[in-house]
Structure 1
Amino acid sequence: MNQELTIPWESGTLTAIVDQAEHPSAFLILAHGSGAGKDHDFMSGFSHAMAKRGVSVLRFNFPYMDAGKKFPDKAPVALAVWKHVREWAGTHLTGDLPVFTAGKSFGGRMASLAVAEGMPTEALIFLGYPLHAPKKEEKLRDEHLYPLSTPMLFLEGTRDPFANPVIISRVVADLNADSELIWFEGGDHSFKVARSGRSVADDGARLSESTATFINKQLS
């Protein structure tokens, strides 16, 4: 079941959608990447597939996306939004379900920064972590990850220009023992594989099996 809703935020609201699992075992809060919002086919494909696997999903827009702006909110705003959405969901939506957090690229990185500042979550799930800008592998976005005791799942395409395979493999190996890295052969930053014949929604849905397996592992 799909439900559109609004989340109060400062002087306005954030738009959001809940994809409700029939008999949920967990609740996942999902943030979008920098270039496309909660309604993008990749986001909806992943979210719908997760609901079918027994995990209810809340996907929300950052303020800049609802305002129709091209450039993402600065980190302090994005972190404040993440913390607010997490708290609001815990009060209004999640009940007694264990709560996980996930994000596509920018959304996942902001989630991890919020967790580093104390935002509660059972685990972090990255749908393509932007470890570095393309061709700027000397500037890694990894320092805040090492102190975290939170389990982390990194889903990565082997052709992702934002995550050099050798470097991100080394980074994940140095994180806590409950962190995992799963590769999707031929996938780019959006997990698109050339000549695969899959739709964008299918590309998103394809990540649901690994995500659900990881969540169930944390629940066992």
Structure 2
Amino acid sequence: MTAAAHTPFRGEGVDGVLQRPDGPVVAGLVLTHGAGSNRDALLLRRLADALIDHGVAVARIDLPYRQRRPKGPPSPSTAAGDRDGIVAACALLRQVVGDVPLLVGGQSYGGRQASMVVAEHPDVADGLLLTSYPLHPPGKPERARTEHLPDITCPAVVVHGASDPFATTDEITAALDLVAGPVRLVEIEKTGHDLKPDRSPAVDRAVEAVLTHLLGRRPPAGPD
């Protein structure tokens, strides 16, 4: 595995950690967390550790609501501020990585906010990575969060657990048909909303999709 430096990633409205490969940087990724978590969530750490081995610099950030308090869920009234924090993080990472593709995404709530960012501001990022997109509250499919999906024009990768109560595979497939840009859905069998990053192929398959679908690079070589 490529060695990586872990450094603070901070700016106006931005607080996180940057993992940068010890070698050429081929892309940058701003990655953020779900509603009850933070930048040190296991899935985010596993994704970052895997992607830096392929030259992707990853900034794992705490959303502004998490910066204000260490625990507790976000408030709908401050969601716009969380999106502002993602925009600021993307701008900061562009300064760090230079003229390479910049991706943005996150787990659950963080991914939803990132998807709204690229819908509202298409120039903020060149690709989108969503893990466990919370299509609707569990048991309430009539409350689908799809209004902004037709405004997403960049390539997107969506990693979905087959047992996720926030969306069935059929529901997420139908929702992604609304997205204007090219989408790859990666379904992980026998997993729910947390994707079990230590016990499922979610991270490996997400990395493969990021490299091939978002960055147009060759897929990682499999084991001999």
Q: TM-score by structure 1 length?
A: 0.86
Out of 124, 130, 143, the position equivalent to 1:126 is 130
Structure 2 residue 218 is the aligned partner of structure 1 residue 216 = no
- Indicate yes or no: 2:179 matched with 1:163: no
Kept after mapping to 2: 8 A contact 1:31/1:103: yes
Q: Residue 146 of structure 2: which of 142, 161, 168 is its match? A: 142
1:99 counterpart = 2:98: no
Distance of 2:202 and 2:119 partners within structure 1: 29
Q: Deviations over 1:145-184 (max 9, x none)?
A: 1122221211101001111211111111232251121111
Describe the SS at the equivalent of 1:46: helix
CA displacement, residues 101-150 of structure 1 (integer Å, 9 cap, x when unaligned): 11111111101111122152111110111101100111000110112222
Matched residue, 1:195: none
> Where does residue 70 of structure 1 map in the other structure?
72
Provide the rounded CA distance (Å) in 1 between the counterparts of 2:181 and 2:84.
Answer: 28
Q: Secondary structure at the match of 1:217?
A: coil
Following the alignment from structure 2 to structure 1, what is the Cα–Cα distance between the partners of residues 9 and 156? Answer: 28
Q: Secondary structure at the match of 1:45?
A: helix
- C-alpha distance in structure 1 between counterparts of 2:34 and 2:63, whole Å: 10
How many percent identity over aligned positions? 27
Which of 111, 115, 138 is the aligned partner of 2:114? 111
Gap runs ≥5 in structure 2: 219-224
Structure 2 partner of 1:28: 29
Structure 1 runs not aligned, ≥5 long: 193-197
Q: In structure 2, what residue type is equivalent to 1:175? A: V
For 1:199, the aligned partner's letter is D
Q: Write the letter of the residue equivalent to 1:213.
A: T
Q: How many residues align?
A: 210
Following TM superposition, where does structure 1 have runs of at least 4 consecutive aligned residues deviating by more than 6 angstroms?
none
- CA gap of 1:46–1:103, structure 2 versus 1, over 3 A, is same
